[in-house]
Amino acid sequence: MTDLVDYDEALAAYDPALGLEVHVELGTATKMFCGCSTVFGAEPNTQVCPTCLGLPGSMPAVNAVAVESAIRIGLALNCEIAEWCRFARKNYFYPDMPKNFQTSQYDEPIAFDGWTEVEVDGETFRVEIERAHMEEDTGKSTHVGTSGRIHGADYSLVDYNRAGIPLIEIVTKPILGTREKAPAVARAYVAHLRDLLLGLGVSDVRMEQGSLRCDVNLSLSPIGSGTLGTRTETKNVNSLRSVERAARYEVSRQAAVLRSGASVTQETRHWHEDTGVTTSGREKSDAEDYRYFPEPDLVPVAPSREWVDELRAELPEPPRVRRARLQEAWGFSDLEMRDTVGAGALGLVEQTIAAGATPQAARKWWLSELARRANEQGTELTALPITPEQVARIQALVDDGSLNDKLARQVFDGVLAGEGDPDAVVASRGLAIVSDDDALGDAVDQAIADNPDVAQKIRDGKHAAAGALIGAVMKQMRGQADAGRVRELILERLA
């Protein structure tokens, strides 16, 4: 493992500068320049055509919905919208680029010069947006072998289903002045974008499926130098947790390189989720190395001012306004709301409440039980195989007395294991609360017989002692007894 400098020690000598490039797969029905489906999870190489495979003689055509989505994203980020822009060819060889170039935008993006704000620990950071441009996604390479990377692989497979899916790349200007909060700011910014994009309805932003990916650019410079250091770009980080960890690791790694007297190499780096480290990829190319030139097969995009104004008027409320509205409606404290947002659970809690759960119940399950499970698996809450509607149903079963919290956790086990919806899990596992007096009575009688000293205390009027007998009954019935009814039966028998 690379030598590291302690994070706090690194900040004593260096200022970090962040730059974040977020790639957003748009939720269009068809690809950017052809009519192929964009549905996730299809059999490899079944959603392709001559255009997205780059075959000779094929001609692209721009997806109008993708252009509209790009404008909406730009407006939501307070960007200027270009009156005229065009596509370019970005030339480089890579196995998952069937054309050997990517159709993208270079010096003429559709949206530019914007800004947004994120909050970390009560402090607001302004993030300047350099550009948001349209392009197409690449295919997906699978490197078969022990390494999981192209280096050391036995062979590689390429799936071109993803090639050509519409992408918006949102690029920030260097984010300065973050100091020790740089990793947290990086995470907060990506979480903020995820909420914003969900609100716009332009993407499902499923990081675990690759529809939202972040490249973390980071450099260090001596404190007070006023210059920017040599940056590295950690590619395709696909979880909020990993964005924060990757930024923190690069601060410590680059500080160690600089302290040794060596220079940081401008390069792309790979993030390893299992070990929490980055490793060298390839030297980072400059723009001129890509030999950009205007795409000759596509006409320029020139959105009218009237259309842009119409889209501006239709924008949903900004994330900060939405959070304030929801906090008031739900009665959350500032700390409760901050934790909900920080966990990436705001949308999940909102949908669970819409499905019938109370705000506190929805928050309890997502931020305690389910957050614990997501953390154990090293994944995001949104990646767990459970829906807000299922969480609300489990809470409804608790509310009507069919389950208690202990049994509810076993229902979560079953749903997450793919055993079906909550009612099916309750039935198959036999988890319903027992309220039948005959069944409960036998267990109560046995508990009284096994604990005569406790029973006598209750006869003497010390009703608080009933808790011990209730516990004994619950143990006999594997936690499935109606505790309230058990208490009533105990007091009736010992009155």
One-letter amino acid at 121 equals D
Model pLDDT, residue 170: 98
Average pLDDT in the 214-230 region? 93
Scan for tokens 């072998």, then name that residue. Answer: 145
Model pLDDT, residue 477: 60
Q: How far apart are CA 69 and CA 66, in angstroms?
A: 5
Q: Using alpha carbons, list the distances in angstroms from residue 16 to 10, 181, 253, 258, 260.
A: 9, 10, 12, 13, 18
Burial class (CB in 10 A: 0-12, 13-18, 19+), 449: exposed
Top-ranked range on mean pLDDT: pick from 111-125, 371-385, 473-487 = 111-125
pLDDT tens digits for range 59-91: 999 999 999 999 999 999 999 999 999 999 999
Model pLDDT, residue 141: 87
Tally Cβ neighbours within 10 Å of residue 334.
9
Ordered domains of the chain (ranges, CATH) = 7-310 (no CATH), 317-429 (no CATH), 437-494 (1.10.10)
Give residue 286's region: left, alpha or beta (phi > 0; psi -120 to 50).
beta
pLDDT tens digits for range 125-138: 999 999 999 999 99
